[in-house]
């Protein structure tokens, strides 16, 4: 078990306060969230970790993610407040307006028709607060209709799935919600950018656009050079060789050789001759991969990692998530009764307050 009795867990807010940690960089920023499941709640949790006051506006039944599991809900909603409001009623709309009048931003992820119907746009709320920033996370755009847009659907629709997996097998998906998480981070960036501008307004972020943006160099190669991306064995990189997974005597090794200096050091350690330039390695891909595969069969993935890392060569044995967490106890935090992975953002002099996830309607007046 990781962090049993608190080992390897960074201090909670109470501990941080006793230690005199600095006020968070977003202290005083008030954000409303009408979010469900992952993308929206992840965005606002990242902001809460940086000191923003995030109030989760939930219907009577709560965010549907409460029904998944307590640990799932905690992983996306630590440190927030919860107010239960029926936005389908006139009273609920007035309550939302009163909250908006004192907020810096509202972030919502629902289907577009619900966002418009419930008055969760800047045009609907500007009468309460001209400087309010309204961020809408949708599948395809705020005015693009209600086509279903869950994470895996977007990965399929944007080319992610077609690029993932072995070329001899079916398209596949990463084992986590990459579209939702990426969109959440992008939405948080858009929200902060508009707050910094000092003006209110509508911000839109769609899962489709974010994932197409993340295919940056693949899209550029196709649009400018007519080169369509290929799915390669072992997740091989399009440009760099060798840069992929390799089988070893035991386990798999991720090896990422980009420039010639990396190659010289690797070739010396692995006793591989030739292929001295990046251009040559790219043009003789199959020969390089065969030579590297043969060399790596002489040791285990962990053994190669221990040999290559001191040489500054990017390499890592493939580990499971439990193994990765066991190896990095410093990233774990305590948020009420839950052990979680903490904020990836480190700011000198600031230790986040990791409060527990709120009970439904806990902060109703």
If asked whether residues 175 and 36 sit together in one domain, one would say yes
Residue 53 DSSP code:
E
If asked whether residues 154 and 179 sit together in one domain, one would say yes
Confidence of residue 3 (pLDDT cuts 50, 70, 90): very low
Sheet containing strand 243-247, edge to edge, reads: 243-247, 252-256, 315-317
Give the pLDDT confidence of 232-249 residue by residue, as tens digits.
Answer: 999 999 999 999 999 999
**Any domain includes 362:** no
Strand ranges in the chain using DSSP code E only, listed in sequence order = 9-10, 30-34, 53-58, 81-84, 105-109, 133-138, 201-206, 243-247, 252-256, 315-317, 332-335, 338-341
Mean pLDDT for the stretch of residues 332-339: 97
**Any domain includes 281:** yes
Environment class of residue 106 by beta-carbon count within 10 Å: exposed (0-12), middle (13-18) or buried (19+)? Answer: buried
If asked whether residues 240 and 213 sit together in one domain, one would say no
What are the Cα distances from residue 362, in Å, to 217, 353, 356?
A: 46, 18, 12
Per the structure, the complete domain to which residue 124 belongs is given by 30-217
Mean pLDDT score of the chain: 93
pLDDT at 12 over 50: no
If asked whether residues 149 and 240 sit together in one domain, one would say no
If asked whether residues 147 and 246 sit together in one domain, one would say no
If asked whether residues 204 and 238 sit together in one domain, one would say no
**Any domain includes 351:** no
Residue 20 DSSP code:
T
**Any domain includes 313:** yes
Known catalytic residues are 180
Mean pLDDT for the stretch of residues 213-218: 96
Q: Return the percentage of the chain with pLDDT > 90, whole number.
A: 92
**Any domain includes 347:** no
The CATH number of the domain holding residue 247 is: 3.30.1540.10
C-alpha to C-alpha distance for 90 and 7, rounded to whole angstroms: 50
**Any domain includes 238:** yes
If asked whether residues 142 and 82 sit together in one domain, one would say yes
The CATH number of the domain holding residue 115 is: 3.40.50.10540
**Any domain includes 361:** no
If asked whether residues 211 and 299 sit together in one domain, one would say no
Confidence of residue 100 (pLDDT cuts 50, 70, 90): very high
pLDDT of amino acid 11: 37
C-alpha to C-alpha distance for 166 and 318, rounded to whole angstroms: 17
Give the pLDDT confidence of 139-160 residue by residue, as tens digits.
Answer: 999 999 999 899 999 999 999 9
Q: Return the percentage of the chain with pLDDT > 70, whole number.
A: 94
If asked whether residues 85 and 209 sit together in one domain, one would say yes
Confidence of residue 5 (pLDDT cuts 50, 70, 90): very low
Mean pLDDT for the stretch of residues 334-354: 95
Confidence of residue 13 (pLDDT cuts 50, 70, 90): very low
pLDDT of amino acid 23: 84
| Domains held by the chain: number | 2
**Listed residues 217, 249, 266: the one ending a domain:** 217
Residue among 353, 262, 336 at smallest CA distance from 51: 353
**Listed residues 158, 189, 217: the one ending a domain:** 217
Tokens representing 108 are: 């919502």
pLDDT at 180 over 60: yes
pLDDT at 347 over 60: yes
C-alpha to C-alpha distance for 148 and 231, rounded to whole angstroms: 26
């Amino acid at each position: 078990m990781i962090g049993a009795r608190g080992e390897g867990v960074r201090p909670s807010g109470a501990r941080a306060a006793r230690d005199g940690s600095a006020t968070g960089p977003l202290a005083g920023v008030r954000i409303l969230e009408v979010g469900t499941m992952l993308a929206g709640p992840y965005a606002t949790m990242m902001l809460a970790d940086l000191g923003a006051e995030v109030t989760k506006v939930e219907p009577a039944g709560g965010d549907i993610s409460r029904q998944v599991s307590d640990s799932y809900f905690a992983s996306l909603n630590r440190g927030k407040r919860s107010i239960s409001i029926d936005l389908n009623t006139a009273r609920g709309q007035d309550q939302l307006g009163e909250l908006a009048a004192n907020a810096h931003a509202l972030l919502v992820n629902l289907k577009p028709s619900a966002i418009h119907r419930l008055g969760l746009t800047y045009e609907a709320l500007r009468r309460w607060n001209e400087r309010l920033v309204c961020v809408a996370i949708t599948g395809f755009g705020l005015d693009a209709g209600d086509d279903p847009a869950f994470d895996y659907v977007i990965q399929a629709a944007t080319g992610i799935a077609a690029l993932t997996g072995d070329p001899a097998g079916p398209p596949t998906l990463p084992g986590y919600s990459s579209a939702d998480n990426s969109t959440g981070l992008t939405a948080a960036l858009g929200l902060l950018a508009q707050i910094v501008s000092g003006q209110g307004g509508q911000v839109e972020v769609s899962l489709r656009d974010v994932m197409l943006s993340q295919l940056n160099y693949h899209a550029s190669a196709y649009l400018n050079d007519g080169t369509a991306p290929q799915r390669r064995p072992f997740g091989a990189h399009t440009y760099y060789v060798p840069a992929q997974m390799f089988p070893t005597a035991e386990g798999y090794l991720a090896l990422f050789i980009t420039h010639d200096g990396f190659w010289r050091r690797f070739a010396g350690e692995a006793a591989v001759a030739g292929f001295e330039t990046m251009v040559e390695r790219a043009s003789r891909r199959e020969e390089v991969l065969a030579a590297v595969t043969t060399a790596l069969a002489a040791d285990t993935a962990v053994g190669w990692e221990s040999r290559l890392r001191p040489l500054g060569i990017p390499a890592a044995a493939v580990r499971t998530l439990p193994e990765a967490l066991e190896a990095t106890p410093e990233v774990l935090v305590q948020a009420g009764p839950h052990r979680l992975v903490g904020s990836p953002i480190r700011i000198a002099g600031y230790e986040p307050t990791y409060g527990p996830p709120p009970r439904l309607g806990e902060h109703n007046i």
